[in-house]
Structure 1
């Protein structure tokens, strides 16, 4: 019996070793096949809430729908709301939304300390232009003439070479990034006055509808909202075209910012990366009347200074 004991212990040790090896091989094999099949990369899930600029809304909504239809992101929900750039910046700053869509730099609407907390993701460029009711015969306005209209100095189209017809202003609220851009780059230092008798609307879509339906009306819209229902007006002889914006010849334009408070979460980052993908930049951005940032031959800082690239 004493002779058999060492032999039995040896056999037992060998069996334990083989069992351990088998277990390791099984674990390794499972991981390997999962990795080979691409199953180790888990699908993203969760939600993305983007709030703010109505000038950006058509683009973010369309891209959001495509993003959710992609197999990789089917478990992610993207919600897009308007309200204006000021609203978007405030909500993302206060943690009420994941993304603040804005036509203006954060420091133009927020206190410096709050603006510093935000990370800027520039996804496109948009130009704004004055638009009038199709019945208005005037199709070219200088900076001075626009200032006179929107400050109430001129109230009839006959004083600008048009018909004897009252000018009806369709304006945006102070929180609007489209308004801020139009004020800064079309009117210079002159601020838009909320004149008695003017109409103020929160949505670019509503502005377009009212200008189209109101005789003598004038407003301003992003190029992404233009259609045949309204007539565009040249700015000092220059048309608001993609080419003129890219070359820096047409001055009324802004970056389309998607701000996050600090670095974005994995899910939000995936959506922002998707916005900047060639698929979106070369199709959706162009199709909807925006301009890819990569096409710009000039850059602009928060103070409005333009520099050639």
Structure 2
């Protein structure tokens, strides 16, 4: 049985059973009910041994009161009570005459009787002699009988009958006294002391305990129930290394509620990710590319989905004492017009430009947002050669991934580059500068004061089946808990922007 159905079904069953039990107990069975119980049935050998000394003189005579040869006496105390949930009126008794109930004492006859306790003194008015209370004998069946009147009783009202009984003509043990009668829309039955739990109550409690134990066992040992949006399968994610940490963390969160979903990664740059999905993604919904910015030309079959606005930063080697750059100064640096940091008030160090390789979404975003769309064309060398040879004048090198960018800027004195801000913020040896006096934060971007930001997109080859893991994971990123992961990394989900058009995949001019 599916554990999810069990976890849902058992509480529903328990609720239905509880409701039925309540209705059965208090509406059907106990709606109108007269109960009785024998509280004492003990033999006595004389007045001295009576549990109630002196009461024999008060008993109303019944049966053959003139008979002085009473043998084998016993005292019986019986409680008659309204055990239902509604009142009982005189008209509710179904007997044809003034008598409402009959107490039967098989194999014994009534020598005397008395009313010994009333829950309400008003009840005594209905139990006086002449109102229907009397003792008699059924000689044919050897049964002593006490007739009781039609006493109206509110809920929980009760009275008690004390009877002195003598052995009848039949030898042997005495059967239990019984109360006979009929109620309209109700019944007469034996009851028990309320100090303990009834069998019905014990059975009901046992049922609830079983439900709780089963649910606890499922929660402890059973498999996790499927959750809304959980789709099992395998999904490969390729593309932007700048957005890789966000995607990895989001996938980890997704698997917490959907452990049957598995993810593989190949973040080697936005352009390479687009090319991979273009070549291998046709008819394959298990492949997605994540890019920094919109796709380049040449990918007509790829369908884009905006994910988030991401914050990028210009980063410098920690040694130059330069903490703020204007947009114009950044352009002058990357176009070779500033060759030494002392021009900007920093140390006497030649400028080393570190670029991402062509095809990088981060490089494309940098050129569009800060360089006015112009491409960087300067003499290039390997970053290792720049570090070792330290040639004079401005020089540049290229790196393929975000991690390589951070490593190169941290290792080369005088280096300047760019990367996602969240990755740079925690990297030793690298400092993210402010641009035009504005810090690389989400609030500055949303206020349109910080210029270096971009939009992250997901691309598939054609439309995705709605029941695919790729479609479910994208819904998780845009409409589910994945948005929390994006915000944790400093981004802003596109759906939360005041102007969603800012996530439109259109290249800035």
TM-score, normalization: structure 1? 0.78
Residues 123, 209 of structure 1: CA spacing in aligned structure 2 closer, same or farther, 3 A cutoff? same
**Which of 260, 270, 287 is matched with 1:98 structurally?**
287
Q: Is the 8 A contact 1:171 1:201 kept in 2?
A: yes
2:319 and 2:436 map into 1 onto residues whose CA distance is 20
The worse-fitting range, judged by mean Cα deviation, of 209-218 and 165-174 is 209-218
Question: Does the 8 Å contact 1:132/1:219 carry over to 2?
Answer: yes
Offset at residue 250 of structure 1 (A): 1.5
**Structure 1 range deviating more: 175-184 or 248-257:** 248-257
Alpha carbons 1:50, 1:101 under 8 Å: kept: yes
Q: Check the 8 A contact 1:104/1:257 in 2, yes or no.
A: yes
Q: 1:64 aligns with which of 238, 242, 251?
A: 251
2:446 to 229, 242, 246: 246
Q: Are residue 304 (structure 1) and residue 508 (structure 2) matched?
A: yes
3-state DSSP class of the match of 2:373?
coil
**Does the alignment pair 1:82 with 2:267?**
yes
Residue deviations 1:277-304, cap 9 Å, x none?
342212x112222222244334434132
Q: Sort the Cα spacing of 1:194 and 1:204 in 2 relative to 1 into closer, same or farther, 3 A.
A: farther
Task: Work out the CA distance in 2 between the residues paired with 1:188 and 1:247.
Answer: 20
- In the TM superposition, residue 194 of structure 1 has moved relative to its aligned partner by 4.8
Structure 2 counterpart of 1:190: 374
Q: For residues 218-268 of structure 1, give each alpha carbon's deviation from its aligned partner in whole angstroms, at most 9, with x where no partner exists.
A: 110112212252211122222221111112222221111011122213221
Structural mapping, 1:257-276, within 5 Å: 257-265=457-465, 266-276=468-478
Q: Is the 8 A contact 1:152 1:195 kept in 2?
A: no
SS in 1 for 2:267: strand
- Which residue is 1:170 aligned to? 354
- The separation in 2 between residues aligned to 1:51 and 1:194, in whole angstroms, is 30
CA–CA distance in structure 1, aligned partners of residues 348 and 230 of structure 2: 63
Q: Which has the higher contact order (CA 8 A, sep 6+)?
A: 1
Equivalent pair of 2:336/2:378 in contact (CA under 8 Å): no
User: Which of residues 175, 183, 205 in structure 1 aligns to 2:403?
Assistant: 205
Please give the alpha-carbon distance, in whole angstroms, between the structure 2 residues aligned to 1:42 and 1:122: 19
Residues 16-27 of structure 1 aligned to structure 2 (within 5 Å): none
- The CA distance in 1 between the partners of 2:277 and 2:314, in whole Å, is 30
Aligned residue runs from structure 1 range 2-81, under 5 A = 44-70=231-257, 73-81=258-266
How far the C-alpha of 1:128 sits from its partner, in A, is 1.4
Separation in 1, partners of 2:464, 2:378: 37
Contact 1:55 1:224 in 2 (8 A): no
CA contact (8 A) 1:169 1:198 kept: yes
Q: Which residue of 1 aligns with 2:81?
A: none
In structure 2, the CA distance between the partners of 1:258 and 1:161, relative to structure 1 (3 Å rule), is same
Contact (CA 8 Å) 1:173, 1:201: kept in 2 or not?
A: yes
Distance 1:206 1:159 in 2: 27
Q: Which has the higher helix share?
A: 1
Instruction: Tell me the residue number matched to 2:436.
Output: 236
Q: Higher strand fraction: Structure 1 or Structure 2?
A: 2
Matches within 5 A, 1:210-229: 210-228=408-426, 229=428
Mapped contact 2:312–2:421 kept (Cα < 8 A):
yes
Q: How far off is 1:56 after superposition?
A: 0.9
Return the alpha-carbon distance in structure 1 between the equivalents of residues 470 and 449 of structure 2: 35
Cα distance, 1:133 vs. partner? 1.1
> What is the DSSP-based 3-state SS (H/G/I as helix, E as strand, rest coil) of the residue aligned with 1:120?
strand
Task: Work out whether residues 60 and 80 of structure 1, in 8 Å CA contact, stay in contact via their aligned partners in 2.
Answer: no
Alpha-carbon shift at residue 176 of structure 1 (Å): 0.4
Task: For 2:490 and 2:242, locate their aligned partners in 1 and report how far apart those are by CA, in whole Å.
Answer: 11
TM normalised by structure 2 equals 0.49
List structure 1 runs of 4+ shifted beyond 4 angstroms.
Answer: 36-39
CA contact (8 A) 2:314 2:416 kept: yes
The CA distance in 1 between the partners of 2:491 and 2:421, in whole Å, is 7
* RMSD (Å) for aligned C-alpha atoms: 2.6
- Residue by residue, what CA displacement relative to the aligned partner does 1:148-174 show, whole Å, maximum 9, x if unpaired? 211222211012221111111111001
Confirm whether residue 120 of structure 1 aligns to residue 304 of structure 2: yes
Q: Kindly name which structure, 1 or 2, has the bigger radius of gyration based on alpha carbons.
A: 2
